[in-house]
Chains A and B, each alone.
Chain A
Amino acid sequence: MLERRNFLGLSVLAFGVAAAPLNLSAVNFRETKPNLWKATKVDDAIKELFGTTSATEGKIKLRAPDIAENGAVIPVSFETDLKASKIAVFQDANPESAVAVFDIPDNAIIDYGIRIKMAETGTVTVVAQENGKLYKVSKLVKVTIGGCGG
C-alpha cells in the first residue's frame, strides 16, 4: 500500500520536474507573472510587473527605427548604466503589450539587442527598475506597407 502511494507520488514528482523550468534557479516571469503577458495596455502591464506605473523619464538609451523596414523584424536595442535588476520591453501595437522581461544578473553589461514584431505603428517602451525606482524611455516606430511588392 505504502509502496503504491510512494510510486504514485514519485511519478507525479517526475512529471512535475519534467514540466518545470530546466534550471530551478532560473527566473521565469512567464510563470511568476502570468497576468503580465495577458495585459493589453502598456500601463497595465507595467503595473502588473513592477507594482506601480510611476517612473522617471531617461537614463536609458533606446534605439529603434523611425520607420520599420518590415513590421515583422524590427531591431530594438537599449543600453543603460543603471544597476538595474529588472528591465522590460513593452509596445502598444499588438493585442498584448509585454514583449520581454530581462532579469539582470550581477556581471551583466546592459547593452542588449532583440528583434521584435509589431502589427502596426506603435510606441516601444523600455522600463528599468533600480533599487525599487523605475526609469523609462519610449520611441514611436512607424509600421506601414511599402510601395513596391514582389
Chain B
Amino acid sequence: MAKTRIKAKEKNGVVTVKTLSKHPMLSYVEAKRAKKEVNFITHFMAEANGKVVYEVSTSQFLSKDPYMKFKFTGAKKGDKVTITWVDLKGNKDVSTKKIR
C-alpha cells in the first residue's frame, strides 16, 4: 500500500512537491531504547516524465514520518510524479500523484 502522501503543484514552469511518508524512522539509539529493530528510509527519489528530478540518500536523523520539499522544472500540470523510497530493511514504497 502506498505510504507516501504527495502534493505537487506547478506554477510558472516550476513544480513544487511536498511529501510526507509514513515511517517510524528509528535511529540506532532510539531503537535500542524502545527495544525495537532499527529501521529508517535510506534512499528517496522522485521521477517525472522518465527523468529523476530529486534524489537523496538519507540517514537515521530524519524525523519520524519524514517530510521532503523540493522543486524542479520540465513538467507541467497533469504530468505524474512518482516517489520511490527504500529503507534499511529493504522495504520499498512507490507512490504516484498528478501535478496540479
Contact = CB atoms under 8 A, between A and B. Distances in A.
Establish whether A and B are touching in the complex (CB under 8 Å): yes
A108 B43 CA distance: 17
Contacts of B67: 75, 113-115
B66 A114 contact: yes
Contacts of B64: 72-73
B59 A100 contact: yes
A94 B43 contact: no
Contacts of A99: 58-59, 61-62
A111 B43 CA distance: 19
Nearest to A70: B63
A98 B53 contact: no
A21 B57 contact: no
B55 A102 contact: yes
Interface string B43-86: 10100000111111111111110111111111000000000101
Contacts of B74: 107
B56 A107 contact: no
B84 to A, nearest CB: 6
B72 A109 contact: yes
Given A19-B90, A26-B43, A109-B14, A114 B55 contact: no
B95 interface: no
B29 interface: yes
B92 interface: yes
B64 to A, nearest CB: 7
B96 interface: no
B55 A27 contact: yes
A109 B72 CA distance: 5
Contact of A115 (B28, B42, B62): B62
16 contacts: A19-B90, A22-B84, A23-B84, A26-B52, A28-B42, A75-B67, A105-B51, A105-B53, A108-B70, A108-B72, A109-B73, A110-B71, A111-B69, A111-B71, A112-B71, A116-B61
Interface of A: 19, 21-23, 25-30, 37, 72-75, 77, 91, 94-96, 98-103, 105-119
Interface of B: 14, 18, 27-29, 42-43, 45, 51-64, 66-74, 84, 86, 90, 92
The 9 A-B residue pairs with the shortest CB-CB distance, nearest first, are: A113-B69, A29-B57, A109-B71, A115-B63, A107-B74, A103-B55, A102-B56, A73-B63, A107-B73
